[in-house]
Structure 1
Amino acid sequence: MAIPQELLCLTDDQSEVFRAIIDTIVAPLTDQEESELLANLADIAIHTKDQITTFAKLPALHGEIFDFLYHATPPDQQKVFATLLSLLANPHSALLLTGHWSRFDQLTRQQREAVVNNWRTSNFAFKRLIYKVIYFIVTYPLYRKVGTEFQACIGYSGKDHVRNQPDYQPKRQHPRLPMMTTEEALAEPLKFDIIVIGSGCGGGVCAGRLAQAGKSVLVIEKGKYYHHSEYDLQETTGFDDLYENRGLLTTGDGSVLVFAGSTFGGGSAFADDLEEVCHRIGATTAGIEHNVPNQILAKGCRKLGYPLSAIPQNTSGHQHECEFCGCGCKDGIKNTTTHTWLRDAHEHGARFLDQTRVVRILTRNKKAIGIECIVHGQHTVTIAANQVVVSAGTLHSPNLLIRSGLKNKHLGQHLRLHPCHVVVGFFSETVDMFRGPILTNVSNVAENWNGDNYGVKIEAPTVLGGGFSGLLPWRGAAHHKEIMLRYRQCSPLVIVARDKDSQGSVSYDDQGNLKVNYKLSKHDTQSLIEGMIHALKILCAGGAAELQTTQFGLEPFRFSKTEKPDVNNPRFVQWLQQVRAYGLPAHGCNVMSAHQMGTCRMGVSPSVSATKPTGETWEVENLYVADASLLPTACGVNPMITIQATALHVANTMIAAYGNQKSSTEQNPEM
């Protein structure tokens, strides 16, 4: 793939080093390595000999990787990466990083592999971070794009095999929600009772309830609205279109990968208030069918006597093969915010404006009176309102409030995550983790262990091909290709820890660019480790012949062909001790989070919180927050229902307190 000249930001020396890095991570194998690969995979019936030999000789696609670097990586990260390449292109600085008085690209492949493996197992966190970054940048773009030889050789199509059939029809049809056009947004001064900024779990609920109460409501969303029929269920477009920073957002130090939705409908496209929410979204365990990884989780738990329960799905009991639902639910079965609360809002007159960024909330005499926004990336518009609800999400709501002049010291602080770690088992049979329903079983065996409340859940996730390519530690080009050829035999378990005392915040530079700050505490680290030990035992009891963690310096465990997987096997017991001893050092493993909470937390006074218990800000009247940022602590489970119940509480409070307030036209006639 040719890279447009205007995007080239690397010097010739930097480019040569980058190509050498690529050809180290993913290299055509030698004849001897190819023979060893065939021998190692002799018992696997998934691949033909031709597929294996073709894959063995397959070179990396430089164009795809360069293109990914330029298009998907933020400019500041590109600059840091370019600096690293310059260091490796200079013999003097390269000596400190590689141990060789030579440019990296002038080393032999064997020497380069040794260097990368030394980075992986280094005692210095900085070198481990180098390994982590280059491994991801090289492998992720190769395996996520549909139609490449990389996907074909490992037997993975990269797309949903059910919903990409030519004659496919969604199981449930939903009419499109009408979005305001640019012309409609500019036609005349707009005035509403309530403006809701954000359309996710919080904003959608508020919009639905407030519109039902007879309020004129405008919902503004910075992401694009996609009708469920428009999802193409591919890892490239799915993550690029539906997630914050294309699904590549990390903490400032690169230690935690943070998944956050960024589309119309938000992250849901995954007491009385709680009961009402569960009823509205059809949360139930009826109709659940478990895919192979969830069956393995169940088998291991039963054998070990561990607790296990089904996870309620927002499907109203309809059977549903999720498969690529992380890239959007094309079936229309899941009762997302778009199909529930926002549909309620539409039926009661609410209007919607997508692809629009709110610059600031307008105030007068410490009261919210409207917003200023950039419509469809081009036109700056002010819109009047009696009340404004900020539901821009944990990562962005604080920034919008700060840009609007609020100064509460708790804005952006107290970030809570659910830190996660993945372990995997390899099985003799085909698993195909990307097929069937996802996240349907959970075990809380490690929630309370040895008298400590770890708050850990163990679930069976889906890891698509691109994400899997950089998940497990790289130990050489031949090892990498063998792991990828065994992708379809891999079954993962994710350990989800409840953040108890880790330190987190979000901050913003002068241009408003987001930075996520997070330091995992000793307690929360121990929670993940305890969860890992139990998850590995579950996989072993489920029949895994090989087990791996993402700990960079820990070798995998393999049962011999004459051994039956057994949690009491002395070698396995000793290996678990090594897992515990290695721990989760900074940049020495893969840690991620799909849930963010707490940056505008509610409380009893401005000395300890950013908002009142009603969701209204302490500093500005008629300005509310209604999203996960309100939560004062991590809830320990998928927070969707908690967020929606909290937003319902905020909306009901607004109705009760201001139900008789004058319309926006009367309230702000000059706007």
Structure 2
Amino acid sequence: MTRLSKPLSEIKPCYDVIIVGSGYGGGVSASRLARTGKRVAVLERGREVLTGEFPNRFPDLKNELQVTGKSVRTGSPTGLYDVRLGEHMHILVGCGLGGGSLVNAGVALRPTARVFEDHAWPEELRQDGWLQEGYVRAQNWLRPAKDPRAASMTKFNALKTAADRLGHAMVETPVAVSFSETINAAGRTQAACTSCGDCCAGCNVGAKTTVAVTYLPDAVAHGAELFTHAKVSSLEKQSDGTWQLHVEDLRKDGQKEGFKLSAPVIILAAGTLGSTEILLRAAAKGLAVSDRLGHRFSANGDIIAFGYGLKAKVNAVGIGHPPKLEDFAVGPSVTGQLEVRDAETLENELTVQDGALPSALAPILPVMFVPNGRILGALKSLVSGVYRGPFAHLQTIFAVSHDSASGRFILDSDRLSLSWPGAKDEPVYTRIDAALAQIVGDAGGSYVKNPLAGTVMGHQPATAHPLGGCSMAEDCTTGVVNHKGQVFDAGASGSTDVHRGLYVIDGSIIPRSLGVNPLLTITALAERAMAHFATDHDLSFSAEPAKAS
């Protein structure tokens, strides 16, 4: 497979548009603006990982792990899995060309309409019809589908049994995965899912519909230039109104230790953590932005938990590709979900998904569960293997609900830090714990909220769906960007004035929890923002999928 990225040595000093980050927001922006004929560069701090190069052994996965905390920094700065240990909450994000799409479960759900009735959203978002069109375009390009074999998967049925007994709906989950060989929206061939269960470690089959196989190759086909190992530390407005980026070279050889780039248009799409950190640094250097910068962080009501010792087999540990076992199907990382609905109170709604752990984690599962008093079962699995011993009865649970979005990002010694003293006491975690304990208990198992609680992970909640920090709003008194992703200029005379040419388009602009996995909404908001960008700049592009080459 041909690499999309160019050597960093070939980067030019100026472009029409520079996009920082290559996840859903960055990928959509790159594709659409390249289609208008703009000279586009995409900067990604991670590296490019092709199909077949994702880790499927624990030593390889360990080498792809970067961990950052107040007093710890380990691993490569371009490691695929970026773990931020916080005093109040831990955060996991992806790092690589394609962003979080590389290592998420690919769950593509649309929030209930009640989510968008919240006045935290700008009124324009609900009025102009472009959000609906954004979702249509996102669906056309990511093509989420339900696993046609879902009903035969043991992890699906383990959760369905509990759902049936407790009176909750159990449905198949749409995921950005191809279940038959196909030509995708970028005109590229995608293989069929093999049900290996390794979506969250990176798809070595080529069936997962990531940004790296859709929007980014389309951007390159239309002239965009993609560069990896390029970390943007800060930005500043120049006297002529253009923007200058300060970029760090993360290549091992360090041929370009640090350099500057400029463009009249900058799109920050570095994710909730990256975009917020860049803007906080710019604000510290004098850029006039809203004092709401860093506020309204949400963990999206997230939790990853386990049911240990279920009566029935679950088979929720991936087998990888090539498969570690024959005639053993796990399914995609998420096959189905149990839905708890509340017509009166949105915050009480809960989605519980039948997760799967990547095969690379299989060897250390017994060790993970030893500190929790399950040493006999863990040792038994060391002998019999996780696919046949007690861990064949381990249920992995991905749950999503609603929190208060009360976290705040700040700079601490020039590094991003999350302050949310009451995070672990958020009502959402009490609700989720009660619901999951009932679900797991009904299946004859023990609810394990955090198997690593006795380690450096502590008892803090963790999320893989960080949102907010650069939240959209009506004006700069309540948020950081407008409904188009344009950054408010707090130094201007009007509260809705914006910095010309400066945008944020990623999960950081979402002002509240969504109650579902956010990838589809981030993509839809990016598609919507690009439609407005084209109108505002008298440009045009087709959003139609490419034809097979």
**Which band: TM-score by shorter chain?**
0.7 to 0.9
Instruction: Check if 1:344 corresponds to 2:218.
Output: yes
Instruction: Check if 1:538 corresponds to 2:439.
Output: yes
Instruction: Check if 1:414 corresponds to 2:316.
Output: no
Change (3 A) 1:519 1:310: farther
Instruction: Check if 1:327 corresponds to 2:150.
Output: no
Change (3 A) 1:655 1:241: farther
- Distance in 2, matches of 1:190 and 1:467, equals 48
* Deviations 1:404-449 (CA, angstroms, capped at 9, x unpaired): 343431222211103315140414565432132221111122x429
Deviation, structure 1 residue 349? 0.6
Change (3 A) 1:325 1:315: closer
Change (3 A) 1:621 1:351: same
Match of 2:262 among 384, 395, 407: 384
Deviation, structure 1 residue 534? 3.2
SS in 1 for 2:246: strand
* Deviations 1:209-254 (CA, angstroms, capped at 9, x unpaired): 111122111000000111112223234433643766565734532x
2:493 is matched with none
- Distance in 2, matches of 1:340 and 1:395, equals 24
2:247 is matched with 373
- TM-score, normalization by structure 2: 0.74
SS in 1 for 2:94: coil
Deviation, structure 1 residue 477? 5.8
Instruction: Check if 1:432 corresponds to 2:310.
Output: no
* Deviations 1:18-51 (CA, angstroms, capped at 9, x unpaired): xxxxxxxxxxxxxxxxxxxxxxxxxxxxxxxxxx
SS in 2 for 1:334: coil
User: For the Cα contact (< 8 Å) 1:472–1:549, is it kept in 2?
Assistant: no
2:350 is matched with 456
Deviation, structure 1 residue 549? 2.8
- Distance in 1, matches of 2:22 and 2:365, equals 27
2:14 is matched with 191
1:305 is matched with 167
Deviation, structure 1 residue 646? 0.9
SS in 1 for 2:25: helix
- Distance in 1, matches of 2:369 and 2:405, equals 24
Instruction: Check if 1:265 corresponds to 2:98.
Output: yes
Structure 1 or 2, whichever has the larger Rg, is 1
- Which of 477-486 and 512-521 deviates more? 477-486
1:616 is matched with 486
- TM-score, normalization by structure 1: 0.61
- Distance in 1, matches of 2:468 and 2:311, equals 43
User: For the Cα contact (< 8 Å) 1:502–1:524, is it kept in 2?
Assistant: no
* Deviations 1:607-653 (CA, angstroms, capped at 9, x unpaired): 11011211011122101001000001111111001001111122222
- Distance in 2, matches of 1:192 and 1:531, equals 47
- Distance in 1, matches of 2:534 and 2:67, equals 32
- Distance in 2, matches of 1:472 and 1:617, equals 49
Change (3 A) 1:451 1:387: closer
User: For the Cα contact (< 8 Å) 1:250–1:257, is it kept in 2?
Assistant: yes
Deviation, structure 1 residue 385? 1.6
Q: Which amino acid letter does the alignment assign opposite residue 504 of structure 1? A: G
- Distance in 2, matches of 1:451 and 1:372, equals 46
Match of 2:519 among 640, 648, 661: 640
- Distance in 1, matches of 2:485 and 2:203, equals 31
Instruction: Check if 1:176 corresponds to 2:2.
Output: yes
2:112 is matched with none
Instruction: Check if 1:359 corresponds to 2:221.
Output: no
Tell me how many residue pairs correspond in the alignment: 447
- Distance in 1, matches of 2:346 and 2:2, equals 49
Match of 1:652 among 525, 531, 536: 531
Deviation, structure 1 residue 308? 1.1
- Distance in 2, matches of 1:286 and 1:357, equals 37
- Distance in 2, matches of 1:366 and 1:484, equals 65
* Deviations 1:99-121 (CA, angstroms, capped at 9, x unpaired): xxxxxxxxxxxxxxxxxxxxxxx
SS in 1 for 2:530: helix
- Which of 293-302 and 528-537 deviates more? 528-537
2:39 is matched with 216
- Distance in 2, matches of 1:424 and 1:358, equals 41
SS in 2 for 1:453: helix
Q: Which amino acid letter does the alignment assign opposite residue 453 of structure 1? A: E
1:518 is matched with 420
User: For the Cα contact (< 8 Å) 1:402–1:411, is it kept in 2?
Assistant: yes
User: For the Cα contact (< 8 Å) 1:211–1:345, is it kept in 2?
Assistant: yes
- Distance in 2, matches of 1:467 and 1:454, equals 32
Q: Which amino acid letter does the alignment assign opposite residue 170 of structure 2? A: L
Change (3 A) 1:403 1:467: farther
Instruction: Check if 1:279 corresponds to 2:149.
Output: no
* Deviations 1:576-614 (CA, angstroms, capped at 9, x unpaired): xxxxxxxxxxx9856321100011001111111011211
Change (3 A) 1:312 1:495: closer
* Deviations 1:112-158 (CA, angstroms, capped at 9, x unpaired): xxxxxxxxxxxxxxxxxxxxxxxxxxxxxxxxxxxxxxxxxxxxxxx
- Distance in 2, matches of 1:462 and 1:469, equals 18
- Give ranges in structure 2 of 5+ residues lacking alignment: 69-78, 105-131, 181-191, 319-329, 384-388, 490-498, 541-549
Match of 1:508 among 408, 411, 426: 411
2:430 is matched with 529
Change (3 A) 1:314 1:480: closer
- Distance in 2, matches of 1:513 and 1:240, equals 23
Q: Which amino acid letter does the alignment assign opposite residue 597 of structure 1? A: L
- Distance in 1, matches of 2:147 and 2:400, equals 27
User: For the Cα contact (< 8 Å) 2:235–2:246, is it kept in 1?
Assistant: yes
Change (3 A) 1:182 1:256: closer
User: For the Cα contact (< 8 Å) 1:208–1:342, is it kept in 2?
Assistant: yes
Change (3 A) 1:243 1:212: farther
User: For the Cα contact (< 8 Å) 2:307–2:448, is it kept in 1?
Assistant: yes
Deviation, structure 1 residue 508? 2.6
Match of 2:471 among 592, 597, 601: 601
Change (3 A) 1:660 1:259: closer
1:570 is matched with none
> How big is the alpha-carbon RMSD for the aligned residues of Structure 1 and Structure 2?
3.2
User: For the Cα contact (< 8 Å) 1:412–1:600, is it kept in 2?
Assistant: yes
Instruction: Check if 1:592 corresponds to 2:462.
Output: yes
User: For the Cα contact (< 8 Å) 2:156–2:335, is it kept in 1?
Assistant: yes
2:448 is matched with 549
Instruction: Check if 1:295 corresponds to 2:118.
Output: no
Q: Describe how 1:438-517 pairs up with structure 2 within 5 A.
A: 438-445=333-340, 447-448=341-342, 453-463=347-357, 464-465=361-362, 466=364, 469-470=367-368, 473-475=371-373, 481=379, 486-494=389-397, 496-501=399-404, 503-510=406-413, 512-517=414-419
- Distance in 2, matches of 1:522 and 1:381, equals 41
- Distance in 1, matches of 2:518 and 2:6, equals 30
User: For the Cα contact (< 8 Å) 2:369–2:378, is it kept in 1?
Assistant: no
User: For the Cα contact (< 8 Å) 2:465–2:518, is it kept in 1?
Assistant: yes
- Distance in 2, matches of 1:217 and 1:264, equals 16
Higher helix share: 1
SS in 2 for 1:268: helix
